[in-house]
Protein backbone atom coordinates (compact mmCIF):
# COMPACT_ATOMS: atom_id res chain seq x y z
CA UNK A 1 0.00 0.00 0.00
CA UNK A 2 2.78 2.41 0.84
CA UNK A 3 4.96 1.41 -2.10
CA UNK A 4 2.66 3.10 -4.57
CA UNK A 5 2.64 6.31 -2.55
CA UNK A 6 6.36 6.25 -1.98
CA UNK A 7 7.51 6.36 -5.58
CA UNK A 8 4.74 8.80 -6.36
CA UNK A 9 2.88 6.67 -8.83
CA UNK A 10 -0.69 7.35 -7.82
CA UNK A 11 -2.40 5.22 -10.44
CA UNK A 12 -1.01 1.97 -11.68
CA UNK A 13 -2.77 -0.07 -14.36
CA UNK A 14 -1.44 -3.53 -15.13
CA UNK A 15 -2.55 -6.05 -17.74
CA UNK A 16 -5.85 -4.35 -18.36
CA UNK A 17 -8.18 -6.11 -20.75
CA UNK A 18 -11.52 -4.61 -21.69
CA UNK A 19 -13.94 -5.93 -24.24
CA UNK A 20 -17.46 -5.42 -25.42
CA UNK A 21 -18.80 -8.76 -26.54
CA UNK A 22 -16.15 -10.18 -28.82
CA UNK A 23 -14.64 -6.76 -29.57
CA UNK A 24 -11.44 -6.38 -27.55
CA UNK A 25 -10.59 -2.76 -26.81
CA UNK A 26 -7.56 -3.15 -24.58
CA UNK A 27 -5.39 -6.20 -24.14
CA UNK A 28 -2.51 -6.22 -21.68
CA UNK A 29 -2.51 -2.47 -21.16
CA UNK A 30 -0.07 -1.00 -18.60
CA UNK A 31 -0.06 2.61 -17.50
CA UNK A 32 1.34 4.68 -14.62
CA UNK A 33 0.17 8.11 -13.58
CA UNK A 34 2.63 10.04 -11.43
CA UNK A 35 1.75 12.59 -8.80
CA UNK A 36 1.60 16.18 -10.00
CA UNK A 37 1.96 15.51 -13.70
CA UNK A 38 -0.37 16.32 -16.55
CA UNK A 39 -0.64 13.11 -18.53
CA UNK A 40 -2.14 13.32 -21.99
CA UNK A 41 -3.75 10.16 -23.33
CA UNK A 42 -3.97 10.17 -27.11
CA UNK A 43 -4.94 7.64 -29.70
CA UNK A 44 -6.96 7.26 -32.85
CA UNK A 45 -10.72 7.08 -32.73
CA UNK A 46 -11.86 3.81 -31.24
CA UNK A 47 -8.63 3.01 -29.44
CA UNK A 48 -10.48 3.20 -26.16
CA UNK A 49 -9.22 6.40 -24.56
CA UNK A 50 -12.49 7.12 -22.85
CA UNK A 51 -12.95 3.42 -22.10
CA UNK A 52 -9.64 3.50 -20.23
CA UNK A 53 -10.81 6.51 -18.24
CA UNK A 54 -14.06 4.73 -17.41
CA UNK A 55 -12.19 1.60 -16.37
CA UNK A 56 -9.83 3.47 -14.04
CA UNK A 57 -12.63 5.40 -12.38
CA UNK A 58 -14.58 2.18 -11.95
CA UNK A 59 -17.46 3.07 -14.23
CA UNK A 60 -16.88 0.04 -16.45
CA UNK A 61 -15.57 -3.24 -15.20
CA UNK A 62 -12.67 -4.58 -17.26
CA UNK A 63 -12.49 -8.24 -18.23
CA UNK A 64 -9.09 -8.70 -16.63
CA UNK A 65 -6.20 -6.80 -15.11
CA UNK A 66 -5.39 -4.76 -12.04
CA UNK A 67 -5.99 -1.09 -11.38
CA UNK A 68 -4.44 0.45 -8.30
CA UNK A 69 -5.22 4.01 -7.30
CA UNK A 70 -3.63 5.60 -4.21
CA UNK A 71 -2.66 2.11 -3.13
CA UNK A 72 -6.21 0.78 -3.30
CA UNK A 73 -7.26 -1.95 -5.69
CA UNK A 74 -10.09 -0.20 -7.55
CA UNK A 75 -11.67 -3.42 -8.76
CA UNK A 76 -11.86 -5.08 -5.34
CA UNK A 77 -12.55 -1.94 -3.33
CA UNK A 78 -15.19 -2.13 -0.65
CA UNK A 79 -17.91 0.48 -0.60
CA UNK A 80 -16.01 2.57 1.98
CA UNK A 81 -12.78 2.39 0.00
CA UNK A 82 -14.71 3.47 -3.08
CA UNK A 83 -16.16 6.43 -1.23
CA UNK A 84 -12.65 7.44 -0.07
CA UNK A 85 -11.39 7.13 -3.65
CA UNK A 86 -14.28 9.24 -4.93
CA UNK A 87 -13.13 12.01 -2.58
CA UNK A 88 -9.63 11.86 -3.99
CA UNK A 89 -10.45 12.05 -7.67
CA UNK A 90 -12.75 14.15 -9.81
CA UNK A 91 -14.03 13.45 -13.28
CA UNK A 92 -15.03 15.96 -15.90
CA UNK A 93 -17.12 14.34 -18.61
CA UNK A 94 -17.20 15.46 -22.20
CA UNK A 95 -20.12 17.82 -22.06
CA UNK A 96 -19.78 18.55 -18.36
CA UNK A 97 -22.49 16.03 -17.42
CA UNK A 98 -24.05 18.62 -15.13
CA UNK A 99 -27.32 17.73 -13.45
CA UNK A 100 -29.80 19.56 -15.62
CA UNK A 101 -32.35 20.20 -12.88
CA UNK A 102 -29.85 22.07 -10.68
CA UNK A 103 -28.19 25.43 -11.19
CA UNK A 104 -24.45 25.51 -11.72
CA UNK A 105 -23.84 26.49 -8.07
CA UNK A 106 -26.08 23.68 -6.82
CA UNK A 107 -24.19 21.31 -9.10
CA UNK A 108 -20.90 22.30 -7.51
CA UNK A 109 -22.47 22.02 -4.06
CA UNK A 110 -23.48 18.38 -4.64
CA UNK A 111 -20.09 16.85 -3.70
CA UNK A 112 -19.68 19.38 -0.87
CA UNK A 113 -22.80 17.97 0.77
CA UNK A 114 -20.75 14.93 1.71
CA UNK A 115 -18.72 17.02 4.19
CA UNK A 116 -20.59 16.57 7.46
CA UNK A 117 -20.51 19.89 9.32
CA UNK A 118 -20.40 22.40 6.50
CA UNK A 119 -23.06 25.05 6.86
CA UNK A 120 -25.12 26.00 3.80
CA UNK A 121 -23.47 29.45 3.76
CA UNK A 122 -19.96 27.99 3.69
CA UNK A 123 -21.01 25.47 1.06
CA UNK A 124 -22.36 28.26 -1.06
CA UNK A 125 -19.23 30.37 -0.59
CA UNK A 126 -16.98 27.46 -1.56
CA UNK A 127 -19.10 26.70 -4.62
CA UNK A 128 -18.85 30.33 -5.66
CA UNK A 129 -15.09 30.19 -5.23
CA UNK A 130 -14.85 27.08 -7.41
CA UNK A 131 -17.01 28.71 -10.07
CA UNK A 132 -14.75 31.72 -10.05
CA UNK A 133 -11.60 29.54 -10.04
CA UNK A 134 -12.57 27.91 -13.32
CA UNK A 135 -13.10 31.36 -14.80
CA UNK A 136 -16.87 31.54 -14.87
CA UNK A 137 -18.58 34.85 -14.08
CA UNK A 138 -20.46 35.17 -10.80
CA UNK A 139 -23.83 35.19 -12.53
CA UNK A 140 -23.21 31.82 -14.14
CA UNK A 141 -23.75 30.24 -10.73
CA UNK A 142 -27.46 30.94 -10.88
CA UNK A 143 -27.85 29.70 -14.45
CA UNK A 144 -29.07 26.24 -15.39
CA UNK A 145 -26.75 24.10 -17.52
CA UNK A 146 -29.04 24.42 -20.54
CA UNK A 147 -28.56 28.19 -20.46
CA UNK A 148 -24.78 27.95 -20.79
CA UNK A 149 -22.57 27.58 -23.85
CA UNK A 150 -20.58 24.39 -24.38
CA UNK A 151 -17.37 25.92 -23.08
CA UNK A 152 -19.05 27.24 -19.97
CA UNK A 153 -20.64 23.86 -19.31
CA UNK A 154 -17.20 22.25 -19.49
CA UNK A 155 -15.86 24.80 -17.02
CA UNK A 156 -18.81 24.19 -14.73
CA UNK A 157 -18.15 20.45 -14.99
CA UNK A 158 -14.56 21.08 -13.99
CA UNK A 159 -15.70 23.22 -11.05
CA UNK A 160 -17.83 20.32 -9.85
CA UNK A 161 -14.96 17.87 -10.34
CA UNK A 162 -12.72 20.18 -8.27
CA UNK A 163 -15.26 20.76 -5.52
CA UNK A 164 -13.56 18.52 -2.97
CA UNK A 165 -9.97 19.42 -3.99
CA UNK A 166 -9.21 16.03 -5.48
CA UNK A 167 -5.64 14.95 -5.97
CA UNK A 168 -6.27 13.88 -9.55
CA UNK A 169 -8.82 14.99 -12.11
CA UNK A 170 -9.78 13.00 -15.17
CA UNK A 171 -10.68 15.21 -18.09
CA UNK A 172 -12.44 13.64 -21.05
CA UNK A 173 -11.84 15.68 -24.20
CA UNK A 174 -11.83 19.01 -22.34
CA UNK A 175 -11.35 21.14 -25.46
CA UNK A 176 -13.48 19.19 -27.94
CA UNK A 177 -16.08 21.44 -29.51
CA UNK A 178 -14.53 24.67 -28.21
CA UNK A 179 -13.37 27.48 -30.44
CA UNK A 180 -9.58 28.03 -30.50
CA UNK A 181 -9.77 30.96 -28.07
CA UNK A 182 -11.95 29.04 -25.65
CA UNK A 183 -9.74 25.97 -26.05
CA UNK A 184 -6.50 27.79 -25.27
CA UNK A 185 -8.18 29.54 -22.34
CA UNK A 186 -9.10 26.08 -21.07
CA UNK A 187 -5.52 24.88 -21.59
CA UNK A 188 -4.25 27.82 -19.56
CA UNK A 189 -6.81 27.05 -16.87
CA UNK A 190 -5.64 23.44 -16.64
CA UNK A 191 -2.03 24.63 -16.33
CA UNK A 192 -2.82 27.18 -13.64
CA UNK A 193 -4.93 24.79 -11.60
CA UNK A 194 -2.43 21.99 -11.88
CA UNK A 195 0.35 24.27 -10.73
CA UNK A 196 -1.40 26.15 -7.95
CA UNK A 197 -3.48 23.29 -6.59
CA UNK A 198 -0.78 20.66 -7.09
CA UNK A 199 -3.25 18.74 -9.17
CA UNK A 200 -2.51 15.60 -11.15
CA UNK A 201 -4.36 15.64 -14.45
CA UNK A 202 -5.32 12.68 -16.60
CA UNK A 203 -6.27 14.20 -19.89
CA UNK A 204 -7.95 12.34 -22.73
CA UNK A 205 -7.70 14.45 -25.83
CA UNK A 206 -7.52 14.66 -29.59
CA UNK A 207 -6.30 18.21 -29.52
CA UNK A 208 -2.62 18.61 -30.38
CA UNK A 209 -2.58 22.21 -29.20
CA UNK A 210 -3.79 21.09 -25.79
CA UNK A 211 -1.13 18.40 -25.69
CA UNK A 212 1.65 20.86 -26.46
CA UNK A 213 0.27 23.57 -24.20
CA UNK A 214 -0.32 21.44 -21.12
CA UNK A 215 1.05 17.93 -21.00
CA UNK A 216 4.18 16.84 -19.16
CA UNK A 217 3.91 13.31 -20.47
CA UNK A 218 1.95 11.62 -23.21
CA UNK A 219 0.65 8.07 -23.38
CA UNK A 220 -0.20 6.81 -26.84
CA UNK A 221 -2.90 4.17 -27.12
CA UNK A 222 -2.54 1.92 -30.13
CA UNK A 223 -2.68 -1.79 -30.85
CA UNK A 224 -4.91 -2.30 -27.81
CA UNK A 225 -2.31 -1.15 -25.31
CA UNK A 226 -0.24 1.86 -24.28
CA UNK A 227 2.24 1.83 -27.11
CA UNK A 228 4.61 4.34 -25.63
CA UNK A 229 4.77 6.93 -22.87
CA UNK A 230 7.12 9.85 -22.58
CA UNK A 231 7.51 13.54 -23.13
CA UNK A 232 6.44 15.17 -26.34
CA UNK A 233 10.07 15.34 -27.42
CA UNK A 234 10.34 11.56 -26.96
CA UNK A 235 7.39 11.05 -29.26
CA UNK A 236 9.34 12.34 -32.24
CA UNK A 237 11.83 9.50 -31.81
CA UNK A 238 9.24 6.74 -31.77
CA UNK A 239 9.36 4.52 -34.81
CA UNK A 240 5.72 3.63 -35.25
CA UNK A 241 3.68 4.75 -38.25
CA UNK A 242 0.72 6.09 -36.29
CA UNK A 243 2.87 7.93 -33.74
CA UNK A 244 5.03 9.36 -36.52
CA UNK A 245 2.01 10.50 -38.43
CA UNK A 246 0.38 11.98 -35.36
CA UNK A 247 3.32 13.87 -33.91
CA UNK A 248 5.05 14.93 -37.11
CA UNK A 249 1.98 15.69 -39.24
CA UNK A 250 1.26 19.26 -40.37
CA UNK A 251 -1.05 19.96 -37.46
CA UNK A 252 1.50 18.72 -34.95
CA UNK A 253 4.18 20.95 -36.50
CA UNK A 254 1.93 23.96 -36.12
CA UNK A 255 1.10 23.11 -32.53
CA UNK A 256 4.77 22.58 -31.74
CA UNK A 257 5.71 25.87 -33.33
CA UNK A 258 3.02 27.68 -31.37
CA UNK A 259 4.32 26.21 -28.15
CA UNK A 260 7.99 27.03 -28.71
CA UNK A 261 8.00 30.43 -26.96
CA UNK A 262 6.85 28.74 -23.73
CA UNK A 263 9.09 25.73 -24.12
CA UNK A 264 12.18 27.54 -22.91
CA UNK A 265 10.61 28.85 -19.76
CA UNK A 266 9.17 25.43 -18.95
CA UNK A 267 12.52 23.73 -19.41
CA UNK A 268 14.15 25.20 -16.33
Partner 1 sequence: MGTQGLQVERGESGPEEVIGLSGALTVQHLAALHAELEVAPPHALIDLTGVTRIDTAGAWALAEFEQRVSAAGGAVQYRGATEGAELLLSTVRRAMPIAEELPARPGGIHALLETTGRRVMGAAGFLGGLLEYLGLFLAGLFRVMRHPREFRFTSLVAHCDDVGLKAVPIVSLMAFLIGVVLAFQGATQLRQFGAEVFVVDLIAISVLRELGILLTAIIVAGRTASAFTAAIGSMKMRQEIDAMRTLGLDPVTVLFVPRILALLLMLPILGLIADLMGLFGGALMSWIELGISPSMFRTRLVADVDVSNVIVGLVKAPVFAVIIGVVGCHAGMQVKGDAESLGRMTSSAVVTAIFAVIVADALFSIFFAEVGL
> Which one, of 73, 71, 66, 114, lies nearest residue 90 by Cα?
114
138 interacts with partner 1 by CB under 8 A: yes
Ramachandran bin of 239, using left for φ above 0, alpha for ψ from -120 to 50, beta for the remaining angles: beta
Nearer to partner 1, 195 or 237 (CB): 195
Among 59, 83, 125, 263, binds partner 1 (CB under 8 A): 125
Q: Is residue 268 at the binding interface for partner 1, with CB under 8 A as the rule? A: no
**Which one of residues 197, 227, 238, 258 is an interface residue with partner 1 (CB under 8 A)?**
197
- Which CB, 148 or 204, lies closer to partner 1? 148
| Run of H or E residues at 22 | none
Radius of gyration of the chain (CA): 19
- Determine what percent of the chain falls in helix, strand and coil, rounding each to the nearest 5: 45, 25, 30
Sign of CA pseudo-dihedral 117, 156, 93, 183? negative
Does 192 sit near partner 1 (CB under 8 A)? yes
Q: Spell out the residues 6+ positions from residue 60 whose beta carbon is closer than 8 angstroms to its own.
A: 18, 51, 54
**In the complex, minimum distance from the CB of residue 118 to partner 1, in angstroms, rounded to a whole number:** 6
Residue 257 near partner 1 by CB under 8 A: no
- 83-122 footprint of partner 1 as x/- string (CB under 8 A): -----------------x-----------x--x-xxx--x
Residue 113 CA, chain-centre distance (Å), reads 23
Binding site for partner 1 (CB under 8 A): 100, 112, 115, 117-119, 122, 125-126, 128-133, 138-139, 142, 146, 162, 164-165, 192, 195-198
Amino acid sequence: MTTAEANDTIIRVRGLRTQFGSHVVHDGLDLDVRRGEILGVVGGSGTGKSVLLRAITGLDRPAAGRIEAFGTEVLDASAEERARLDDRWGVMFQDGALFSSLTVRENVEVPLRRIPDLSPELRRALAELKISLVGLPYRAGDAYPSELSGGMRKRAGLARALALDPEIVFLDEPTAGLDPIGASAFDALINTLSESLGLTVFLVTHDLDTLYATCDRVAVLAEKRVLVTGTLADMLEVDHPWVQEYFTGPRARLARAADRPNAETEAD
